[in-house]
Structure 1
Amino acid sequence: MKPLFTYLVIASFLITTNISQALEPTPQRVVVSGGSITEIIYALEEQDRIVGVDSTSVFPIAATLKPQIGYVRKISTEGILSLMPDLVLGEADTGPKKVVSQLQSTGVNMVILSEEDNFLTIENKINHIAKLLNVPAKGHTLANSLKADRDALRYVLSQSDYKPRVLFVLSVRSGQPIVAGAHTSANELINAAGGINIAAKHLDNWKPLSTEAALAFNPDAIITMGRHGDDPLTDIAKLAHFKFSNAAKNKQVYSFDGSYLLGMGPRTPQAVVELASVLHPSTQLPTGYKFRFAKTSQTTTELSE
């Protein structure tokens, strides 16, 4: 009797679980606050469910045609509710906090992916979003596709012990560069690509950099960011801060598309492989590895031609 009883218990559990899963509604009207989430939903081929996106959702270009809800850190309660979403997905920096609290108080299904917004947990983010959309198999397939990039990165870094001293410049405001210190996504990715963020020991978060500090840093390589399709910082090497640096002298000033490198979406692991390759130019990619997405790194020389 015991085997029969055990079988009946298991069968009852499976039937109950399947019924419960079947009764869970699949979100059909999704509002997104965060470019990486939008990119993931498009990669899962579930973009028809998106009814609104924030202004950082710039890839793929078709996402920019969706109704807009504002900047990720300045979303509005009324704008989102007017789209009648059955799911609101937000990245860790979705805000302001008051608006997030207001949306949650309305009872709208809102999920903030605060623990999965870093380089090592992109696959977790993909699987989480796919589960919320009730397409877990698609999520596993997409997440598994990033293994090729992870393996390629390890291969590149295994060929060199050299750790270049890198400075990441986000933008220039009133002639002063804004650079990545500790506790930034850029700092995380520089380390992942086998570099040393020379600002991390002295600065926290994104901070302006004085000419004197820049001269003392004397980076071996400078990474700049083309923000959301804007023109990259083509004259960064000509700033008084950097024109005498090793990076400028050796033409090691590169511009990357911002959403590609810093987005923490499906393209970011490839972008870090590309970053590792420019920081370690003597290394080779593994045989058979191919860039699935367009590379975006360009030197200052190439940009000014």
Structure 2
Amino acid sequence: MKSSSFQLRRRDALRFLSLPAACAVPGAFVLSATAVHAQTATAKMPRIVSVSGATTEIVYALGAEKQLVGSDTTSLFPAAALQTPKVGYMRQLSAEGLLSLKPDAVIGTTEAGPHVVIDQIRTAGVKVELVEADHTWSEVQRKVAAVGRATARVAQAAALQAKLDAQWAEVLATVARKGGKKPRAVFILSHSGSPQVAGEKTAAHAMFGFAGLDNALITPGSASNFAGYRAMTPEAVVTAAPDVIVTTTQGIEAIGGIGKFWQRPGLELTPAYKRRALVALDALYLIGFGPRLPQAVADLHQASLKALA
């Protein structure tokens, strides 16, 4: 996710062998077994740097926030993540700054880079876990598992995943029950610079499919289909004739409000404009593919239906 304006718990205890009773020595300071346990557990827990907003969310969901010694600028949720030392934008990392935090592991997605920096971090002896970003539910599962391994909280990660899997099955069933013709939607990304629209192989395109929407810019078998993002043109938007426009709250703020958003050339000639059918959600929440994905799909589905009512 490209955005310069991105300004977006359950504790685990390790098991230890019982310590033998200490002999009383006059004047000696003796730690209780509980204190020794706590100190040893803290010392053993891996230090983590997260370079993905989604993996940072999972760190907090696992109650491992005390192990988080740094995060990237897309790590905006929960609010506490804003207070962690920042290592820059995930695609523009610096090995020197990141390694200065002395992490045991770096976690994120394959979108992190540059590759030369990732190689430098590995060469320094830091474990690097990068999950492939393919915009599927499996991506979320792999992120949870990776964070569980990196933080030494595998059991907690398995429990979290079971909970999320149940939520995922429920939201997919809810969307499927709606049935009928799918509304046509266009996703506009515009946090800075020229607005862009989403094609295939993007998080936004995948979200449309999960939420019961069709990407109006993509026609099965058409030579005009495209992958990734491209510049938004009035002609393309008019031809796509979307029923609803989906964007981010950051994009609405960047342009100066909903009224200004609808003034973008071409939108006034779309079916969406006639209804003012617009859905705006937080960028990390909508296309971050983190542990809140089931709720994000449910919200996109319901908000789209409401906008078209």
TM-score strictly above 0.5: yes
Q: Which residues in structure 2 correspond to 1:144-293 (within 5 Å)?
A: 144-146=162-164, 147-171=166-190, 176-201=194-219, 202-227=225-250, 234=258, 235-281=260-306
> TM-score normalised to the size of structure 2?
0.77
Task: Tell me the TM-score normalised to structure 1 length.
Answer: 0.78
Q: Which residue of 2 aligns with 1:58?
A: 76
The separation in 2 between residues aligned to 1:152 and 1:114, in whole angstroms, is 24
Distance 2:110 2:104 in 1: 20
Instruction: State the distance in 1 between where 2:251 and 2:89 align.
Output: 12
Aligned identity (percent) is 31
User: Alignment partner for residue 99 of structure 1, among 92, 99, 117?
Assistant: 117
Distance apart, 1:158 and its partner CA = 1.6
**Distance (whole Å) between structure 1 residues aligned to residue 100 and residue 143 of structure 2:** 27
1:258, distance to aligned residue in structure 2 (A)? 0.6
Residue identity in the other structure for 2:297? V
**1:122, distance to aligned residue in structure 2 (A):** 1.3
| Superposition pairs of residues 58-77 of structure 1, within 5 angstroms | 58-77=76-95
Distance in 1, matches of 2:55 and 2:241, equals 36
SS in 2 for 1:58: coil
Does residue 1:81 correspond to 2:81, yes or no? no
User: Which stretches in structure 2 are left out of the alignment for 5+ residues?
Assistant: 1-42, 220-224
Please identify runs of 4+ aligned residues in structure 1 that moved more than 4 A.
228-233
Q: Which amino acid aligns with 1:143?
A: Q
Residue type matched to 2:93 in 1?
I
State the 1:280 CA deviation: 3.4
Q: State the Cα distance separating 1:150 from its structure 2 match.
A: 2.8
| Aligned amino acid, residue 129 of structure 1 | V
> What do the CA deviations read for 1:30-71 (whole angstroms, capped 9, x no partner)?
111000000000011110000010000000011011001000
SS at match of 1:280: helix
Structure 1 residue 128 and structure 2 residue 146: aligned? yes
Higher mean alpha-carbon deviation, 144-153 vs 86-95, is at: 144-153
SS of the residue corresponding to residue 188 of structure 1 reads helix
Q: Aligned-pair distance for 1:229?
A: 10
SS across alignment from 1:31? strand
Of 121-130 and 64-73, deviating more is 121-130
**Superposed CA offset, 1:250-304 (max 9, x none):** 12111110111111111111100111122334xxxxxxxxxxxxxxxxx7xxxxx
Q: Tell me: CA distance 1:230–1:266, structure 2 relative to 1, closer, same or farther (3 Å).
A: farther
Find the aligned partners of 1:229 and 1:79 in 2 and give their Cα distance. 33
> Are the aligned partners of 1:157 and 1:193 in contact in 2 as well (CA < 8 Å)?
no
Contact 2:171-2:297 within 8 A present in 1 as well? no
1:35 aligns with 53
CA contact under 8 A between 2:234 and 2:266: conserved in structure 1?
yes
Answer yes or no: is the 8 Å Cα contact 2:95–2:117 preserved in 1.
yes
Gap change, CA 1:136 and 1:230, over 3 Å in 2:
farther
Aligned residues of 1:32 and 1:38 also touching (Cα < 8 A):
yes
RMSD, aligned α-carbons: 2.5
Q: Offset of 1:113 from its aligned partner?
A: 1.3
Say if 1:104 and 1:141 are closer, same or farther in 2 by CA, change over 3 A: same
Q: 2:161 aligns with which of 143, 165, 182?
A: 143
